[in-house]
Chains A and B, each alone.
Chain A
Amino acid sequence: MSNTPQKKPLLEVVDLKQHFPIESGFIIKRKIGAVRAVDGISFTVNEGETLGIVGESGCGKSTTVRSISQLYKPTSGSVIFDGVDLVNAPREQMLDARKNIQMIFQDPYASLDPRMTVRTIIAEPLDIYRKRGMLDASVTPASIEKRVEELMERVGLNKAFKNRYPHEFSGGQRQRIGIARALALNPKIILADEPVSALDVSIQSQILNLLHDLQKELGLTYLFIAHDLAVIEYISTRVAVMYLGKIMELSRSGDLYKNPLHPYTKALLSAAPIPDPEIERKRQRIILTGDVPSPNKERVGCYFYDRCPSRMEKCKVTIPPMKRIDENHEVACWLYE
């Protein structure tokens, strides 16, 4: 456990909050509340590792990555990438740093413009940054052309297809196009927002393997989001479990399965089906009652209080802080005080 080399954090998120206002009124808008999509989370991502974020829909996983890439302006907190605070840096500096942060999206049907050819799609990030004058002078239209072909081959697409349109490709191939586009600027970190959940099982493993290979070859860092625990455990070095805009538990991925601490993590793990009938039928399930509560109100106690099977008086009134259990395992729960 201790033989992992100490790597420096590439990305540091400090107390990030992303609230969306709820407004009322037709002409004069009044703010009547806020959806607390991300409500104060902190973590670091080290160079070369994969941090997985897992959680149910509405827990703020996607908002987290969008706030990191500054697609939303965070309400408060900071996102420090390679020494630059993206939230407070001047726009020029932020754009320059963001060249190294690229995204892969969930839906390969919605994330590619149907009226652009594959060539234009993959070259777009390069074209944009060339127009901004933030690329090397050596990048010319001819070299972009070459780069597109190179990228297509790298992700397993035939470069002869570069003048085709997205509708001519299957779901898995489209996701490859999305990956090629994310790689175009040679980023340091890739934020992957559920990149395999829309794909069929046999295609899912192809894409996971591709991402795995690319990481090894190019020394990429991933922030990987999924709701499927098995996928997250497979791809990640460390895993953060989110619930209602908060991180509940953060651990090395193997440890999380072997030794889950937070009651929510335990329930999540026991609910995830395992494709083996003998094991599956013998398992003890922790079935949570109720649904995820609304993220609109401000909370004073633990965010998981309403559904927690082992809640205590204390949990109702005080928010548990993140507590370090050992070197690689942190949990926010009063049970471990």
Chain B
Amino acid sequence: MTNQASQESYDTLLEVKNLQTYFKTDAGIVKAVDGISFNLKKGETLGIVGESGSGKSVTNLSIMRLIPSPPGKIVGGEVLFEGKDILKLSESALRHIRGNEISMIFQDPMTSLNPFLKISTQMIETIRLHQDISKKEALQKSIDMLKLVGIPAAEERIHNYPHQFSGGMRQRVMIAMALSCEAKILIADEPTTALDVTIQAQILELIQELAKKLETAVILITHDLGVVAGMCDTVCVMYAGKIVEKAKTNDLYKRPSHPYTFGLIQSVPRLDKAHNGKLYSIEGQPPNVIDLPPCCPFHPRCNKVMDICRTQYPPTTDLGDGHEVACWLFNDQKEQSHE
């Protein structure tokens, strides 16, 4: 057993097992992330897709143990990074992992840099927190990183303040900071949502290129199915705190199995297809995640709803080749054969 585990750790960088993060609010308990599991291999790019409130960001904040507590609390599960459970580490050991081993890019490049400090100050601080080098060396390293992410005249630009950079440039600075410690895992939380399409294409290309060069594994959180299609090897689709479908990217788009995934892919207008009449649309509103009953949270909006969906949450069914889906549609056959 231990042998197997250590062998696996060469390949699997991060293993999330049955992670549960709850928030206590006056209105009731919000199960923001409710028992999700996935693996991340070396050099892999994993996409997490979902709508607002589905728990994508909370998942990643939980991995870094950045959940504000109270009101939030990781109530169960394991996050194994190279075999060590991050959730059980001491604060100092954790600080070694954050930034050094796992680093993050946030959604909004306008608010994640300190407007009062020069880029150089912020980058040197980050690097020296994690590595034992002199200020001069750290500055040189920062300049190299800025060059790597394609900021022109990096030697001069590094002494500028954040407001002197455009949105796209600021996001590049964030990426440079995130990569400056050669982390093994890069978590990018909607890295391009605040940017324009032409800048988005530049940034995504950059992340992809750097991930290949530095062999970084990437977790990409997004709501944009187009971005996922171009970037990711594997995709998890989240709905109301649970992973409802997980598959290789090609497989997911070819065979979307969960009614939610199917609806999501169908409801996006596509540039390359002629449009006649109406778009496919998922009826109803996103679920209220406070005190969810133990049924399938998608059932009020599902067009294939059955009686069992209203009372029990479906178990995960393996459709082969790593394609997993949590829906009763794929489970009844098995159950009947068991009986």
Among residues of B, the one whose C-beta sits closest to the C-beta of A213 is B278
CB pair A201 B205 closer than 8 Å: no
Neighbouring A residues of B223 by C-beta, 8 Å: 200-201
CB pair A205 B279 closer than 8 Å: yes
Neighbouring A residues of B226 by C-beta, 8 Å: 272-275, 280
Q: With both chains docked as a complex, state the minimum distance between the C-beta of B84 and any C-beta of chain A, in angstroms.
A: 33
Among residues of B, the one whose C-beta sits closest to the C-beta of A59 is B196
Pick the residue among B249, B250, B270 that contacts A230 (CB under 8 A). B270
Chain A proximity mask over B265-292: 1 for CB below 8 Å, otherwise 0: 1011111101100111111011000000
In the complex with contacts A56-B196, A201-B225, A234-B275, A273-B269 CB distance below 8 A: no
Whether A279 is near chain B, meaning CB under 8 Å from some CB there, is yes
In the complex with contacts A277-B230, A280-B229, A287-B205, A205-B280 CB distance below 8 A: yes
Among residues of A, the one whose C-beta sits closest to the C-beta of B279 is A205
Q: With both chains docked as a complex, state the minimum distance between the C-beta of B230 and any C-beta of chain A, in angstroms.
A: 4
Whether A318 is near chain B, meaning CB under 8 Å from some CB there, is no
- Looking at chain A's contact residues, is the secondary structure mostly helix, strand, loop, or mixed? helix
Pick the residue among A172, A200, A209, A257 that contacts B271 (CB under 8 A). A257
CB pair B225 A280 closer than 8 Å: no
Whether B67 is near chain A, meaning CB under 8 Å from some CB there, is no
In the complex with contacts A57-B196, A227-B196, A291-B199, A205-B227 CB distance below 8 A: no
CB pair B225 A275 closer than 8 Å: yes
Pick the residue among A57, A234, A271, A279 that contacts B269 (CB under 8 A). A234
In the complex with contacts A234-B275, A288-B202, A275-B281 CB distance below 8 A: no
Q: Which of A159-179 contact B (CB under 8 A)?
A: 170-173
CB pair A172 B274 closer than 8 Å: no
What separation, in Å, do the CA atoms of A212 and B283 have in the docked complex?
16
Chain A proximity mask over B224-246: 1 for CB below 8 Å, otherwise 0: 11111110000000000000000
Whether A269 is near chain B, meaning CB under 8 Å from some CB there, is yes
CB pair A274 B270 closer than 8 Å: yes
Interface residues on B, range: 35 or more
Among residues of A, the one whose C-beta sits closest to the C-beta of B205 is A287
CB pair B205 A285 closer than 8 Å: yes
CB pair A275 B270 closer than 8 Å: yes
What separation, in Å, do the CA atoms of A141 and B334 have in the docked complex?
62
What separation, in Å, do the CA atoms of A34 and B26 have in the docked complex?
50
Pick the residue among B198, B201, B268 that contacts A201 (CB under 8 A). B268
Among residues of B, the one whose C-beta sits closest to the C-beta of A307 is B198
Q: Which of B285-306 contact A (CB under 8 A)?
A: 285-286, 301
Neighbouring B residues of A288 by C-beta, 8 Å: 198, 201-202
Whether A208 is near chain B, meaning CB under 8 Å from some CB there, is yes
In the complex with contacts A227-B196, A233-B269, A287-B201, A276-B279 CB distance below 8 A: no
CB pair B198 A276 closer than 8 Å: no
What separation, in Å, do the CA atoms of A277 and B47 have in the docked complex?
13
Among residues of A, the one whose C-beta sits closest to the C-beta of B281 is A205
CB pair B282 A202 closer than 8 Å: yes
Whether A229 is near chain B, meaning CB under 8 Å from some CB there, is yes
Neighbouring A residues of B51 by C-beta, 8 Å: 200-203
Q: With both chains docked as a complex, state the minimum distance between the C-beta of A69 and any C-beta of chain B, in angstroms.
A: 25
What separation, in Å, do the CA atoms of A16 and B248 have in the docked complex?
50
CB pair A273 B224 closer than 8 Å: yes
CB pair A272 B197 closer than 8 Å: yes
Neighbouring B residues of A269 by C-beta, 8 Å: 271
Neighbouring A residues of B196 by C-beta, 8 Å: 56-57, 227, 292
Whether B52 is near chain A, meaning CB under 8 Å from some CB there, is yes
What separation, in Å, do the CA atoms of A231 and B271 have in the docked complex?
8
Q: Which of A228-248 contact B (CB under 8 A)?
A: 229-231, 233-235
A-B contacts counted at CB < 8 A amount to 132
Whether A254 is near chain B, meaning CB under 8 Å from some CB there, is yes
Neighbouring B residues of A103 by C-beta, 8 Å: none
Q: With both chains docked as a complex, state the minimum distance between the C-beta of B282 and any C-beta of chain A, in angstroms.
A: 4
Whether A281 is near chain B, meaning CB under 8 Å from some CB there, is yes
Neighbouring B residues of A208 by C-beta, 8 Å: 269, 279
CB pair A279 B272 closer than 8 Å: yes
CB pair B279 A233 closer than 8 Å: no
What separation, in Å, do the CA atoms of A227 and B167 have in the docked complex?
16
Q: With both chains docked as a complex, state the minimum distance between the C-beta of A298 and any C-beta of chain B, in angstroms.
A: 21
What separation, in Å, do the CA atoms of A272 and B280 have in the docked complex?
21
What separation, in Å, do the CA atoms of A203 and B279 have in the docked complex?
11
Whether B263 is near chain A, meaning CB under 8 Å from some CB there, is yes
Whether A217 is near chain B, meaning CB under 8 Å from some CB there, is no
CB pair B278 A209 closer than 8 Å: yes
Whether A155 is near chain B, meaning CB under 8 Å from some CB there, is no
What separation, in Å, do the CA atoms of A275 and B47 have in the docked complex?
13
Chain A proximity mask over B14-48: 1 for CB below 8 Å, otherwise 0: 00000000000000000000000000000000000
Whether A97 is near chain B, meaning CB under 8 Å from some CB there, is no
What separation, in Å, do the CA atoms of A235 and B269 have in the docked complex?
9
Neighbouring A residues of B224 by C-beta, 8 Å: 273
CB pair A273 B229 closer than 8 Å: yes
Whether A206 is near chain B, meaning CB under 8 Å from some CB there, is yes
Whether B110 is near chain A, meaning CB under 8 Å from some CB there, is no
What separation, in Å, do the CA atoms of A170 and B225 have in the docked complex?
22
Q: With both chains docked as a complex, state the minimum distance between the C-beta of B91 and any C-beta of chain A, in angstroms.
A: 36
Whether A204 is near chain B, meaning CB under 8 Å from some CB there, is yes
Among residues of B, the one whose C-beta sits closest to the C-beta of A264 is B198
A-B pairs with beta carbons under 8 Å apart, 5 shown: A172-B285, A201-B264, A202-B51, A202-B281, A287-B202
20 more A-B residue pairs beyond the given contacts A276-B229, A281-B230, with a C-beta to C-beta distance below 8 A: A56-B198, A201-B51, A202-B263, A202-B267, A205-B268, A205-B269, A206-B283, A234-B279, A254-B274, A267-B198, A269-B271, A270-B201, A273-B226, A274-B229, A274-B270, A277-B229, A285-B201, A285-B205, A287-B202, A287-B205
